[in-house]
Homo-oligomer: A and B are copies of this chain.
């Protein structure tokens, strides 16, 4: 216990240096979805390789068909094997004009709610993954050794569908297979209450482009007898939900089970305030399925969302064009045993079979991952929950998570590992939005949490 106390004390004392290291990483513009930032993604991977080598890991950059992976190992590690996963890539920053600061000029800011680390990736996921790296660094500094038998995997394509992940896991299964995966890409229940996420929604990403005429037309000359792809798109999108908020695709709810009574009761006990949750983003009415509460919807119900739409003239002023094309990006959040590929097929059939005969559609695949539900019978879960409760001085909870972390599914399917999902994000972190932040408390107590958890898990064997 002496060592752990020293480690925790060192983490506090080293705060300024830890922040500077995180800022160095945050300054790298590693937007994975936009090819203009390819070099920055590689730069972020190299930065991590160097940092991990500096604290005693044997780390290397592993190139792929897309952005590189970073893999690191505790040299000559013994004891239970743990695979820590995070991602160094970030979301695009547009609309840039809504940022109050430069997204890649990170800074510590005083706010009414305390100090926050501001910048793209502060919470998703660079700040989070660095809590783990800093915990390892502190153990190494104090004891001269890394605290456990750790393998690290950082990917650079999490925000762009992870096209290289499955091939990489398959090709390096023996090297990466551990007793347990540790994933730091989720949130706390609230700013006082830590959480371990045990349910993740899956995701299906689709993009459709509907084409009518072979060029944009004059709406005066052709308006009426010529098809308008925006109108077709609106009709098709509007047909995807019924009046009760249910998705209308045939077979969509196959594999969606009712929430078990005891889980529903536990969630009700959390006292989630939907009105407050929505008020934070200037909304007030619970939308979505009318027969499910907001929390049930986010954690346990599938959705169909429209993420982006574009067609015709969208510049300043007005242009009476009848557009040749309309495009929409659509994501489905999936739960339980929903089959992403069956839903893709049902979706594409719906679109194709409802198109006018002289229009065409192109589909683009943006990934498909089923939902994941962890078993908490693995004693590592209760050990980690105890450590979190100690560090935050509040009983840690098991939670669901509305987001998708497909890697957790792949770890289960391809490497036979459960994932212990511990993260320190908060609902107001504005990930994927302008002005992303990560609370300084999340960063510091997150680091201290991992320092505790690593010791507990290493001891158990």
User: Taking the nearest CB of chain B, how far is it from the CB of A431, in angstroms?
Assistant: 6
Which residues 233-289 in A have Cβ within 8 Å of B in the complex? 233-235, 237-239, 241, 274, 277-278, 281-289
A366 touches B318 (CB 8 A): yes
Give the residues in chain B near A282, CB-CB below 8 Å: 213-214, 358
Which residues 302-340 in A have Cβ within 8 Å of B in the complex? 303, 305-323, 326-329, 331, 333
Which residues 288-302 in A have Cβ within 8 Å of B in the complex? 288-289, 292, 294, 297-298, 301
User: Taking the nearest CB of chain B, how far is it from the CB of A310, in angstroms?
Assistant: 4
B317 touches A308 (CB 8 A): no
B230 touches A333 (CB 8 A): no
Q: With the chains together, A285 CA to B401 CA distance in Å?
A: 47
Give the residues in chain B near A288, CB-CB below 8 Å: 224-226
User: Taking the nearest CB of chain B, how far is it from the CB of A437, in angstroms?
Assistant: 13
For the complex, is A9 an interface residue (Cβ under 8 Å from B)?
no
For the complex, is A403 an interface residue (Cβ under 8 Å from B)?
yes
A298 touches B224 (CB 8 A): yes
User: Taking the nearest CB of chain B, how far is it from the CB of A210, in angstroms?
Assistant: 12
Whether A221 touches B427, Cβ cut-off 8 Å, given contacts A235-B238, A357-B284, A358-B284, is: yes
Whether A315 touches B220, Cβ cut-off 8 Å, given contacts A281-B215, A309-B326, A356-B285, is: no
Could you say which of A18-26, A199-207, A386-394, A410-418 contacts chain B? A199-207
- Identify A226's interface contact among B160, B281, B292, B357, CB under 8 A: B281
For the complex, is A114 an interface residue (Cβ under 8 Å from B)?
no
B218 touches A432 (CB 8 A): yes
Whether A283 touches B358, Cβ cut-off 8 Å, given contacts A92-B319, A205-B318, A225-B288, is: yes
B320 touches A283 (CB 8 A): no
User: Taking the nearest CB of chain B, how far is it from the CB of A263, in angstroms?
Assistant: 17
For the complex, is A131 an interface residue (Cβ under 8 Å from B)?
no
- Identify A320's interface contact among B34, B205, B218, CB under 8 A: B205
Which positions in A face B, CB cutoff 8 Å? 32-35, 91-92, 94-95, 98, 159-161, 201, 203, 205, 207, 212-228, 230-231, 233-235, 237-239, 241, 274, 277-278, 281-289, 292, 294, 297-298, 301, 303, 305-323, 326-329, 331, 333, 356-358, 366-367, 401-404, 427, 430-435
A-B contacts, 14 listed (Cβ < 8 Å): A34-B317, A94-B313, A219-B303, A220-B333, A220-B401, A223-B298, A223-B305, A223-B333, A224-B292, A225-B297, A237-B238, A307-B320, A310-B310, A319-B329
